[in-house]
Structure 1
Amino acid sequence: MNTPLQLQVKHWLENDPDPATQAQLQTLLDTQNEAELKARFAGRLEFGTAGLRGVVGAGPMGMNRLVIRQTSAGLGAYLLEQIKDAAERGVVIGYDGRHDSRTFAHDTASVLTAMGFKVRITSKVAPTPLVAFGVKHFNAAAGIVVTASHNPPQYNGYKVYWENGAQIIPPHDSGIAAQIERAANQAIPFLEHDDAVKQGKLILLLDDFYQTYRSGIKQSPMLQNHTATEKVSLAYTAMHGVGADMAETVLKDAGFNQVYSVAAQREPNGDFPTVNFPNPEEKGAMDLVIAEAKKHGAMLACANDPDADRFAVAVHKGAGEYQMLTGDQVGVLLGHYLLSHAPEHRGLTGTTIVSSSLLSKIAKGFGQQSYTTLTGFKWLMNVGIVKNQPENPFLFAYEEALGYTVGSMVWDKDGLSALVAFAQLTAELAANGQTIWDRLEHIYREHGFHLNAQVSIALKPDTPKIGAYLREHPPLKIGELDVLSTDDLKALERRFADGRVEKIDLPPSDVLTYCLAGGARVIVRPSGTEPKIKCYYEVVEPMTADDTLISAQNRATQAMEAFIAAHQASLPK
């Protein structure tokens, strides 16, 4: 007798177009592995503002060809409902170098062309920023990138851009998810590749498209500083991703000829054989590019993540040693550099609530506005698009997780333009006999040494709901520091110690921010599902005339350790 679960699995098998995932499920049925089947059919892989991301495997909880087809049918239905001329304006599709990415991208194209959409698909792997660029360039109704960015090899993902060229935000995520649910219970339209090409519905984006993006970087007003490029040497890694060809090309276009790519990591490889985790933030991921930099005595060791939307850099600090910059340090260096070069130093900069507050102080020093959003580039860019005005043009935004965007050519993070901008900053400093460390010290002397740290704190299962507890028992001090104001993004209110209350203009989110005497700050993000919280700390240490960068950093590190300990001691046990 068939159980409801077995019937569900058999129905899925009848619709699954992939012999490999069919075989996986059939083996689970044959061996009566009910626990694994239950896990694979426990629901659907959730579609959210980041699209889909999950482990490749059979069933509705995995990334596979049937899930991709159902998702594409749901997305297509939502686009037709929401955007006038969506089918004619069409969709741009690109994909990274993971094993299933090309197949998933072409399945997506076949579903959307069958629904009447004009689809432009990259003819080969493409960095994610090129697809975001393509949405604007072609005035498309949407863009899709099949990528799992810097996740481990077993993952893949499906990232969606809206017609404005930025990642989707609510309510589009829930609207698309609802249409996917409907599509999952219907026959999925499908037009074979060759038929779609014959009917003029599928257009392959050949080299001229890649060259258009390249020209955009070459001509960007923010990337025209060609001072002393011959003074800069850098090692580069694509981390087994898709960035190398374009990264090397745009660096050469900008006049950087001493570029040494890590050969072992240059070509796309979905197994990521030389790194435990293909994320430049992870320990050991930068080892090979730093070794390449040492070999050539290069100033910089630079990396893109596998889909080239993030940028990381380690900087030579003497005696053959290199030190990684934090995402915040790269962000404030680029923000300061770009503001100092913008016409009349004008330009809008932005960052997120959990990134350093230093960029806003730098912008203020230049007499410019800076904006702050919820965490995630989707918010940074959607707000940036709204605020981008002729009298106050968008210049730069970043988040601490190595995401940067320079100018408005791409409304998403772009590790390629960030790479060029950082090389140009380094060259200008070298022409004046200075280093990146000198510039950081200059910024810190003016605004204070800003140190940021992130800590996840596991609480006991019987600990009171942390968000509710903190709202009911608002702290007046953390350690020895007075709380000057509290931002409650659930209530969208800023409460000052003197009783004043201001409204906050952000989407609601379960986040509390405490600003303390001396410029310190802690942001608390309670987990809605587990007894744990994420805390983001910032301390600011003024630099005295006698301070060096190292002495200020040591003092800030001590202050940070004491601050974290005091804050954790104040939480309910």
Structure 2
Amino acid sequence: MTLWQTNYEKWHSKAKGEIKQALEALSDSEKKDAFETELSFGTAGLRGIIGLGTNRMNKYIVRQTTRGLAEWISAQGEEEKERGVVISYDNRHFSQDFAFEAAKVLGKCGIRSYVFEHLTPTPVLAFSVRHWNAVAGIMITASHNPPAYNGYKVYGEDGGQFPPDAADRLASYIDKIDSPFDVEVADKETLIEQGVLKLLGEETIQAYLKEVEKVTVNRDVLKEASDKIQFVYSGMHGTGTRLVKRVFEQLESPKVAYVTEQCVEDPDFSTVESPNPETEPAFDLSKKLAEEVNADVLFATDPDSDRLGVCVRMGKGKYHLLSGNQTASLMLDYLVNHCPLPNNPALIRSIVSSHLPDKIVKPHGVDVFEVLTGFKFVGNQIKEFEATHSHEMILGYEEAIGYLIKPFVRDKDGFQALTLMTEVASYHFLQGRNLMEALELIYKTHGYFSENTISVQYPGLEGKEKMAAIMDRVRKTDLDEIAGYPVKRREDFLTLQSVEDGVVTPLNYTSSNVLRYLFADESFIALRPSGTEPKIKLYMSAVGETRAKADEKLKAFEHVMLQMIK
């Protein structure tokens, strides 16, 4: 039998009733797609299409994964079991069901759980792990994926996502669970009565919001601008709307218009093609409302509210969607010029993020730390700072619109980002300029950076093989120049080698399938296969003395690299 047939038969032999009937109703092609492989637990947890099968997100996969987590916790001792696990969930199909399935598995194993009464954003979950001194956290979410998806992320006791070594250890426990149908669960109501399952609500939310309020740098700026600047907000049908109104209230009640249609919690994301505030189409309804209320700045959080998109109104019918790099640059420019810096301040950014922030902060004595893609590495760097007392972070960010200002959360935090950007926008508005005009001043000082991230899809079961072949081919190609621009240094984060002028030096990172090419002027190109979707992501940053020269270089980069990864 083929692998999918073996996996299918294992499920079919254990399944009963409606589940068995549903399995039998699948066509051979559907069975193959659902059972050809298994959702593997990695540093991003699990993420997949909802449905029956080993390659799908369903309550049985949730049970199996949680039982592995329970075994991992139990191996640490009774104290860790008593500390328990905090569980939250977003607005997606079956998210609440999956959350309580996880709690019932933990309860059966004698492990306490704290589950939010209502859907709750990812940053609140990350905060709550530390707030409740839990040993771990679970977030049921698929972030900005299409509505057919759901996922399962695990957090450590520090409130950060599991790093690779911890994820590997947990995966080894999960792999020992032979059949998800054999995983036993306790009764939810009984667990609540026994106090083994505690429901979380307002107390935890208030504690989180109190910390978010501390992100504000200068309340006088917010007060002065509160009746002058107009904002628009969209929750992208997710978890953000429940909290964002309270966040804005903390900001001296600035003028905010809400995109009503998208502030409805909808698992089908009915008004957007993709609930991803990195993309222009996600702001279509926001722009329509902005015209009606003459708004200056448009905000949107993704469904689990860990990321923030920012769009600037340039004139009637004209808007500019800021990239993650541009938003981070505006944040940092404001922080280093208007906020008292701590001793040994640090910027933490991903290896695929712009180098413009480096130029902004270094004259102010801020050290820059590069980490691998994935916010868990930002969290790990913060943990190292705390252990060594060497630095204090003023901002952690990655170009995919993920930001962290204060380390009471150890993951991306859309509410912290919204708080700071409300103040940044208000400050520049009082100076008579919009955020794009503020960026222009930064470019004139530090050089023009033109940047783009392109995702190339490789769908189907053969997609992974094709991506692997492409990465292998590019890795074996000696790229001394790209589009006529000499490469200064080639970095391979899989082999952990850097090559410059023929000299090979080691890279001090965890191994990761990323290639990066750096140029003398701080331009760079990087590519990596996504850890959660069937695509290769191509990151390009081009530097020029003028905007036109930077744009020209970026187009040349795009042309060459897209040909290379076809």
The normalised TM-score by structure 1 is 0.89
Q: In the alignment, residue 351 of structure 1 is paired with which amino acid? A: R
Question: 1: distance between equivalents of 2:260 and 2:470?
Answer: 49
* Residue pair 2:355, 2:522 contacting (<8 A) in 1 also: no
Specify the alignment match of 1:58 in structure 2: 52
Question: 2: distance between equivalents of 1:192 and 1:463?
Answer: 44
2:518 aligned residue (495, 511, 515): 515
Instruction: Say if 1:42 and 1:254 are closer, same or farther in 2 by CA, change over 3 A.
Output: same
- Deviation digits for residues 358-416 of structure 1, max 9, x if unmatched? 11222212111011111111212212321246562122111111111111111000111
Specify the alignment match of 2:241 in structure 1: 244
1:167 aligned residue (139, 156, 161): 161
Question: In the alignment, does 2:104 pair up with 1:110?
Answer: yes
Specify the alignment match of 2:480 in structure 1: 476
- Deviation digits for residues 424-470 of structure 1, max 9, x if unmatched? 01111122223212321121112111111234579999999555555
Question: 1: distance between equivalents of 2:393 and 2:493?
Answer: 25
Instruction: Say if 1:23 and 1:140 are closer, same or farther in 2 by CA, change over 3 A.
Output: same
Question: In the alignment, does 2:324 pair up with 1:327?
Answer: yes
Pairwise mapping of residues 14-25 of structure 1 onto structure 2 (< 5 A)? 14=16, 19=18, 21-25=19-23
Instruction: Say if 1:196 and 1:153 are closer, same or farther in 2 by CA, change over 3 A.
Output: same
1:142 aligned residue (104, 120, 136): 136
Secondary structure of the 1:284 match is: helix
Question: In the alignment, does 2:79 pair up with 1:85?
Answer: yes
How much is the aligned-residue C-alpha RMSD, in angstroms?
2.9
2:489 aligned residue (461, 485, 489): 485
Pairwise mapping of residues 374-393 of structure 1 onto structure 2 (< 5 A)? 374-388=372-386, 390=389, 392-393=391-392
1:120 aligned residue (107, 114, 117): 114
Secondary structure of the 1:171 match is: helix
Instruction: Say if 1:445 and 1:462 are closer, same or farther in 2 by CA, change over 3 A.
Output: closer
1:256 aligned residue (240, 246, 253): 253
1:193 aligned residue (171, 188, 191): 188
Question: 2: distance between equivalents of 1:214 and 1:532?
Answer: 36
- Deviation digits for residues 4-29 of structure 1, max 9, x if unmatched? 66742333413x8xx5x55422433x
Question: 2: distance between equivalents of 1:49 and 1:453?
Answer: 25
Pairwise mapping of residues 553-572 of structure 1 onto structure 2 (< 5 A)? 554-566=548-560
Shift of 1:48: 1.1
* Residue pair 2:492, 2:498 contacting (<8 A) in 1 also: yes
Question: In the alignment, does 2:319 pair up with 1:313?
Answer: no
Question: 2: distance between equivalents of 1:95 and 1:426?
Answer: 31
Specify the alignment match of 2:232 in structure 1: 235
1:540 aligned residue (540, 543, 546): 543
Question: In the alignment, does 2:208 pair up with 1:204?
Answer: no
Question: 1: distance between equivalents of 2:44 and 2:96?
Answer: 19
Specify the alignment match of 2:25 in structure 1: 27
- Largest Rg, 1 or 2: 1
Specify the alignment match of 1:450 in structure 2: 449
Specify the alignment match of 1:546 in structure 2: none
Specify the alignment match of 2:11 in structure 1: 9
Shift of 1:566: 4.8
The normalised TM-score by structure 2 is 0.90
Instruction: Say if 1:197 and 1:565 are closer, same or farther in 2 by CA, change over 3 A.
Output: closer
Specify the alignment match of 2:426 in structure 1: 427
- Deviation digits for residues 20-54 of structure 1, max 9, x if unmatched? x55422433xxxx3332333233422211111111
Shift of 1:90: 0.7
Question: 2: distance between equivalents of 1:457 and 1:98?
Answer: 25
Unpaired segments of 5 or more residues in structure 1?
A: 544-551
- Deviation digits for residues 461-503 of structure 1, max 9, x if unmatched? 9999555555555233333322222223233233222x44443
Shift of 1:97: 1.2
Q: In the alignment, residue 10 of structure 1 is paired with which amino acid? A: H
Question: 2: distance between equivalents of 1:217 and 1:129?
Answer: 11
* Residue pair 1:450, 1:540 contacting (<8 A) in 2 also: yes
Instruction: Say if 1:103 and 1:462 are closer, same or farther in 2 by CA, change over 3 A.
Output: closer
Q: In the alignment, residue 13 of structure 1 is paired with which amino acid? A: A
Secondary structure of the 2:36 match is: coil
- Deviation digits for residues 322-349 of structure 1, max 9, x if unmatched? 2111111111111222233332465221
Instruction: Say if 1:532 and 1:117 are closer, same or farther in 2 by CA, change over 3 A.
Output: closer
Instruction: Say if 1:50 and 1:222 are closer, same or farther in 2 by CA, change over 3 A.
Output: farther
- Deviation digits for residues 285-322 of structure 1, max 9, x if unmatched? 11011111111111111100111111001101123422
Instruction: Say if 1:12 and 1:60 are closer, same or farther in 2 by CA, change over 3 A.
Output: farther
Question: 2: distance between equivalents of 1:312 and 1:464?
Answer: 31
Instruction: Say if 1:517 and 1:141 are closer, same or farther in 2 by CA, change over 3 A.
Output: same
Q: In the alignment, residue 252 of structure 1 is paired with which amino acid? A: E
Shift of 1:535: 3.2
Q: In the alignment, residue 354 of structure 2 is paired with which amino acid? A: S
Question: In the alignment, does 2:334 pair up with 1:337?
Answer: yes
Secondary structure of the 1:518 match is: coil
* Residue pair 2:491, 2:516 contacting (<8 A) in 1 also: yes
Unpaired segments of 5 or more residues in structure 2?
A: none
Q: Quick check: 231-240 or 38-47, which moved more?
A: 38-47
Specify the alignment match of 1:506 in structure 2: 509
* Residue pair 1:327, 1:399 contacting (<8 A) in 2 also: yes
Question: 1: distance between equivalents of 2:100 and 2:525?
Answer: 45
- Deviation digits for residues 114-159 of structure 1, max 9, x if unmatched? 1111111101110111000001111110000111111111111111
* Residue pair 2:7, 2:54 contacting (<8 A) in 1 also: no
Shift of 1:174: 2.3
Q: In the alignment, residue 525 of structure 2 is paired with which amino acid? A: V
Secondary structure of the 1:285 match is: helix
* Residue pair 2:144, 2:276 contacting (<8 A) in 1 also: yes
Specify the alignment match of 1:157 in structure 2: 151
